[in-house]
Amino acid sequence: MHRSDPYEASVTADGRYRLLVESIDDYAIYMLDPQGNVANWNAGAQRFKGYTPQEIIGQNFSRFYTDKDRFAGAPQRNLSIAAKQGRFEEEGWRVRKDGTTFWANVVIDRILDEQGNLVGFAKITRDLTERKQRDDALRASEEQFRLLVKSVTDYAIYMLDPEGHVASWNAGAGRIKGFEESEILGRHFSEFYTEEERAAGEPERNLEIARKAGTVEREGWRVRKDKSRFWAHVVIDAIRNDKGELVGFAKVTRDISERRKAQEELEAAREALFQAQKMEAIGQLTGGIAHDFNNLLMAVLGSLEIVSKRLPPDPKITPFIENAVQGAQRGAALTQRMLAFARRQDLQMGAVDVSDTVRGMGEILDRALGPSILVSTRLPADLPHAKTDKAQLESALLNLAVNARDAMPAGGPLLISADYRTLAATSANRLRAGGYVVLSVADRGEGMDEETLARATEPFFTTKGVGKGTGLGLSMVHGLAEQSGGRLLMSSQPGLGTTAELWLPVSAEDMPKQPIEWEKPADHVFVPKRILVVDDDPLVLMNTVALSEELGHEVLEAMSGTEALGVLRAEPVDIVITDYAMPRMTGGELAQAIARDWPNVRVIVATGYAEIPDDYQVDLSRLSKPFRLHDLKEAIEGVLRT
Per-residue model confidence (pLDDT) at position 342:
44
Per-residue model confidence (pLDDT) at position 282:
53
**For 605-623, what is the mean pLDDT?**
65
Q: Report residue 622's pLDDT band, with 50, 70 and 90 as the boundaries.
A: confident
Q: CATH number of the domain that 65 lies in? A: 3.30.450.20
Per-residue model confidence (pLDDT) at position 217:
92
The predicted-structure confidence for 202-249, as pLDDT tens digits, reads as follows 999 999 999 999 999 999 999 999 999 999 999 999 989 888 889 899
- 78 is a domain residue: yes
Q: Which domain holds residue 318?
A: 278-341
- 45 is a domain residue: yes
Pick the range with the lowest mean pLDDT from 393-397, 462-466, 619-623: 462-466
The C-alpha atoms of residue 539 and residue 579 are separated, in whole angstroms, by 12
The C-alpha atoms of residue 29 and residue 46 are separated, in whole angstroms, by 10
Residue 466, phi-psi category: left (phi > 0), alpha (psi -120 to 50), beta (remainder): beta
**For 575-589, what is the mean pLDDT?**
88
The predicted-structure confidence for 523-541, as pLDDT tens digits, reads as follows 556 788 899 999 988 888 8
Does one domain contain both 11 and 124?
yes
Q: For the chain, percent helix, then strand, then coil, each to nearest 5?
A: 45, 25, 30
pLDDT at 459 over 80: no
**In terms of DSSP bridges, do strands 602-607 and 621-624 run parallel, antiparallel, or are they unpaired?**
parallel
Q: CATH number of the domain that 550 lies in? A: 3.40.50.2300
- 137 is a domain residue: no
Does one domain contain both 212 and 318?
no
Tell me whether the omega of the peptide bond preceding residue 599 falls within 30 degrees of 0, making it cis: no
The C-alpha atoms of residue 550 and residue 541 are separated, in whole angstroms, by 14
- Looking at the structure of the chain, the number of domains it has is 5
pLDDT at 6 over 90: no
The C-alpha atoms of residue 637 and residue 618 are separated, in whole angstroms, by 19
Q: Report residue 468's pLDDT band, with 50, 70 and 90 as the boundaries.
A: very low
- 467 is a domain residue: yes
**CB under 8 Å to 550, separation ≥6 — which residues?**
306, 309, 629
For the chain, the C-alpha Rg in angstroms (whole number) is 51
Does one domain contain both 488 and 536?
no
**For 20-48, what is the mean pLDDT?**
82
Per-residue model confidence (pLDDT) at position 521:
46
Residue environment code for 300-318, b if the CB has 16+ CB neighbours within 10 A, otherwise e:
bbbbbbbeeeeeeeeeeee
The C-alpha atoms of residue 565 and residue 212 are separated, in whole angstroms, by 88
In the listed set 295, 314, 341, which residue is the last one of a domain according to the structure?
341
The amino acid occupying position 596 is: R
Does one domain contain both 364 and 484?
yes
Per-residue model confidence (pLDDT) at position 9:
45
Q: What is the pTM of this model?
A: 0.38
Does one domain contain both 203 and 79?
no
**Residue 238: beta bridge partners?**
249
DSSP 561: H
Does one domain contain both 494 and 542?
no
Residue 139 burial by Cβ neighbours in a 10 Å radius (0-12, 13-18, 19+) = exposed
pLDDT at 110 over 90: yes
**In terms of DSSP bridges, do strands 350-352 and 246-255 run parallel, antiparallel, or are they unpaired?**
unpaired
Does one domain contain both 572 and 610?
yes
Q: Indicate the angle between helix axes 473-484 and 257-310, nearest 10 degrees.
A: 110
- 270 is a domain residue: no
Q: Report residue 89's pLDDT band, with 50, 70 and 90 as the boundaries.
A: very high
pLDDT at 542 over 90: no
**CB under 8 Å to 3, separation ≥6 — which residues?**
none
Per-residue model confidence (pLDDT) at position 213:
92
- 144 is a domain residue: no
Per-residue model confidence (pLDDT) at position 638:
85
Does one domain contain both 405 and 535?
no
**DSSP string of 75-143?**
HHHHHHHHHHHSEEEEEEEEE-TTS-EEEEEEEEEEEE-TTS-EEEEEEEEEE-HHHHHHHHHHHHHHH
- 616 is a domain residue: yes
DSSP 312: P
Does one domain contain both 248 and 297?
no
What is the average pLDDT value for the chain, to the nearest integer?
A: 79
Does one domain contain both 631 and 487?
no
Per-residue model confidence (pLDDT) at position 57:
93
Q: Report residue 103's pLDDT band, with 50, 70 and 90 as the boundaries.
A: very high
Per-residue model confidence (pLDDT) at position 1:
43
In the listed set 301, 324, 341, which residue is the last one of a domain according to the structure?
341
Q: Which of 256-260, 273-277, 519-523 has the highest mean pLDDT?
A: 256-260
pLDDT at 180 over 70: yes
- 86 is a domain residue: yes
Does one domain contain both 123 and 189?
no
> Are the C-beta atoms of 155 and 164 separated by less than 8 Å?
no
**DSSP string of 489-512?**
EEEEETTTEEEEEEEEEBPSS---
**For 171-196, what is the mean pLDDT?**
90
**Residue 386: beta bridge partners?**
352, 506
State the Cα torsion 90-93-95-96 to the nearest 10°. 90
Per-residue model confidence (pLDDT) at position 424:
79
Does one domain contain both 93 and 183?
no
